[in-house]
Amino acid sequence: MSSDGTSAPDDAERLAAALDGAGDVDPEIAREVALARRLGALGPALDPDPQARERARERLLAALAEEKPPRTSATALREASTERNEGVR
């Protein structure tokens, strides 16, 4: 069953089944399956060198540190309460 509740598989399910080797590959996704298999066969050859990996990690952590914290339902309630109270004055 697909993610939308129908019995027809969606594109992601068809691709996953093809990559798992379940039956014939649908001609509509044959190119993507071939590409995924070639990339998978290359494996570690595509990994970045350790210095590049560390630079990327540092950039990611710096970007995350600059982001606002996620807005939780508790934060939303607190903000709404503050806005209501400021409007009453």
The per-residue pLDDT for range 22-67, each reduced to its tens digit, is: 778 888 888 998 998 898 899 888 888 999 999 999 999 999 888 7
Using the structure block, give the residue that is written with the tokens 């710096």: 62
For residue 56, give the DSSP letter.
H
Tell me the domain boundaries of the chain: 11-88
Task: Give the integer Cα–Cα distance in Å for 38 and 31.
Answer: 11
Query: What pLDDT shows up at residue 1?
Result: 42
Q: What is the pTM of this model?
A: 0.43
